[in-house]
Amino acid sequence: RKREEEEKELQQQEANKGAYQKKLEEQRQRELEAAAGMTLARGIEDEQMEQRRMAVIREGDPMAMLAWKKQQEEQHTSQTLSSNASHVPRKPVYKGPQPKPNRYGIRPGYRWDGTDRGNGFEDQVLEALHSKGRKKEEAYKWSSADM
């Protein structure tokens, strides 16, 4: 009787798992089986360990952004190639008319209705930045015009 209850409980636990959890468990099981055949001391010649070590993105790494982009591209291509890949929902993007530029280059949210409710400060800041650069360029042209 206990054995039947235990089997029933195991079946219930198995039924509660989703496809992704089952896939992860199978992958972990394959890794454990592969690790059982490996030697205890591993070195640089172990390609899987080396790839895992190199895939980690560390803080302060000057090439971290490039590595992150590379990982994202690999994940994207692997998701598009596999037909049964789970679709990761992406955040919606604003699709209205082109907004006015701002100092930080922040795109508007997808719920924005396109109405500028600012007090004009952003426009003044951008105008000052652009006019300063334009004045410098004009001054340089005037100074080098005789040469």
Tell me the pLDDT of the chain (147 aa) as tens digits: 888 989 888 888 888 888 888 888 999 999 888 878 777 777 777 787 888 887 787 887 777 888 888 888 888 777 666 555 455 577 888 888 888 877 777 888 888 887 888 898 988 988 898 898 888 888 888 888 776
Rounded Cα gap, residues 114 and 96, in angstroms:
7
C-alpha triplet 68, 69, 70: angle, nearest 5°? 90
For residue 29, give every residue at least 6 positions away whose Cβ sits within 8 Å of its Cβ, in sequence order, or none: none
Rounded Cα gap, residues 106 and 97, in angstroms:
15
Nearest C-alpha neighbor of 116 from the set 141, 92, 98, 134:
98
- Could you tell me the two tokens for 58? 């560390």
Model confidence pTM above 0.75: no
**Quick one: pLDDT at residue 147?**
62
**Quick one: pLDDT at residue 142?**
87
**Quick one: pLDDT at residue 29?**
92
